Amino acid sequence: MDTQKKIVLTGMQPTGLLHLGNFLGAANNWKKMLDQYDCYFFIPNQHAITIPQVPAHLRSATLNCVAQYIACGLDPQRCTIFVQSHIVGHTELAWVLGCLTPLGQLYRMHQFKDKSAKRENIYSGLLYYPVLMAADILLYNADFVPTGEDQRQHVELARDLAERFNATYSPTFTVPAPLIETTGARVMSLKSPEHKMSKSDSADGATIYITDKPETIRKKIISAVTDSENKIASHPERPGIFNLLNIYCAVTGIQLEAAEAKFKDYTGYAAFKEELAEVLIKLLDPIREKYEAIKEDKEYLYAVIRKGNEKVQPIAYKTLSKVYHKVGFLER
């Protein structure tokens, strides 16, 4: 029965097409959880406005994100897909949790430091973002939060806030655990492999999108930055080849040592890169095809999120009512 399963909750910002990091660090692992857990995959569009967005783009990217979730294998018959801004409760709970969050803890968040360093105008939403993320998780009493490595610190904050609220008032929230796979948890840029692959990287060929066609994937992999050692071995001081090997392992499921052994007699990177491109094409082709087939079917995509919203709104409302009562707000 669904109600007895542990709850998994996670999401990806609708800020553009999903990339290989989003897939290997996140969606590819999420789809393996569909039967074991009660899975909630949502679209955090309220997070997206922490950096400026073009409203019309945000709207279409949100629906595209639903299509990409489904194309990545998140079967809406076996999981719940919903949109954050449709649900009453996320921002309300975030306000309550924010009143328990020391400012210093938010200033220490790596992602805030990174993102604010790149911008001239820094708005408070960017600082407050991890509190909203904690609310997303706690509102549904999620047991597990599967993400890539970059979100670990945010999930730790959600744990802290659950414990702090429970200790301040009375036991209310499940303390969530991060679920971070070792391979694929940190896919790096193909052009500057000391930085993580990201949607906002404008360098040509740095990011593989899940909708890239075979020839584009081949071109990006062939031109990926490596070094002059011409040896296929994973060494952290050789971030280019280290990243490509990690991607190969995440896609094929082969262990790093086994992959190194397989490629040890290769001279130069060309043949390895060709093999890598082929496994990526095999992985991403069906995803792109599925995405192309459903992305214009707005009726279907809306039906998926309506069904998800209907399931989660009562749960969110129940948690919020409990929290409001505990903090001393009058019944609505």
Smallest separation (angstroms) from ligand TYM to the CB of 321: 21
Residue corresponding to tokens 């569909």: 34
Nearer to ligand TYM, 149 or 227 (CB): 149
Does the protein bind ligand TYM through residue 12 (CB under 6 A)?
yes
CB 69 within 8 A of CB 109: no
Closest CB to ligand TYM among 155 and 304? 155
Question: Which residue, 69 or 272, has its beta carbon nearer to ligand TYM?
Answer: 69
In degrees and rounded to multiples of 5, residue 215 shows phi and psi of -65, -30
DSSP label at residue 109: -
Backbone angles phi, psi at 200, to 5 degrees: -90, 0
Our CB check for ligand TYM shows the closer of 185 and 241 to be: 185
Selected binder of ligand TYM within 7, 8, 11, 245 (CB under 6 A): 11
Interacting residue with ligand TYM among 7, 8, 10, 28 (CB under 6 A): 10
For position 89 contacting ligand TYM by CB under 6 A, the verdict is no
Given the complex with ligand TYM, which of 114 and 297 has the nearer CB atom? Answer: 114
25 binds ligand TYM (CB under 6 A): yes
What CA–CA distance (Å, rounded) separates 137 from 162?
A: 10
Q: Does 197 bind ligand TYM (CB under 6 A)?
A: yes
In single-letter form, the type of residue at position 168 comes to T
User: Catalytic site residues?
Assistant: 115, 196, 199
Which three-class secondary structure state does DSSP give residue 179?
strand
Q: Residue 26, interface with ligand TYM (CB under 6 A)?
A: yes
Q: Candidates 137, 251, 281, 283: give the one binding ligand TYM (CB under 6 A).
A: 137
DSSP state of 39: E
Closest-CA residue to 74 (of 291, 314, 315, 302): 291
Q: Which stretch binds ligand TYM (CB under 6 A): 20-28, 213-221, 227-235, 265-273?
A: 20-28
Window 107 to 136, contacts with ligand TYM (CB under 6 A): 133, 136
Are 206 and 192 in contact by the 8 Å Cβ rule? The answer is yes
In whole angstroms, give the CA distance from residue 22 to residue 106. Answer: 24
- The partner residues of 19 in beta bridges, in order of sequence, read 209
287 binds ligand TYM (CB under 6 A): no
How would you classify the pairing of strands 144-146 and 80-83? unpaired
Which of positions 50-69 make contact with ligand TYM (CB under 6 A)? none
Question: How many Å apart are CA 79 and CA 307, to the nearest integer?
Answer: 10
Instruction: Count residues near ligand TYM (CB under 6 A).
Output: 25
Shortest Å distance, C-beta 250 to ligand TYM: 9
Q: Binding string, 139-178, against ligand TYM, x = CB under 6 A?
A: ------x-xx-xx--x------------------------
The alpha carbon dihedral of 169, 175, 176, 178 has a sign of positive
Q: CA torsion sign, 265 to 269 to 270 to 273?
A: positive
Exposure string of 264-284, with b = 16+ CB inside 10 Å and e = fewer, is eeeeebeebbebbbeebbebb
Among 39, 67, 74, 187, binds ligand TYM (CB under 6 A): 187
- Which residue of the chain is nearest ligand TYM when measured via CB? 25
Q: Note whether 21 binds ligand TYM by CB under 6 A.
A: yes
User: Rule CB under 6 A: which residues touch ligand TYM?
Assistant: 9-13, 21-22, 25-26, 44, 47, 133, 136-137, 145, 147-148, 150-151, 154, 185-187, 196-197
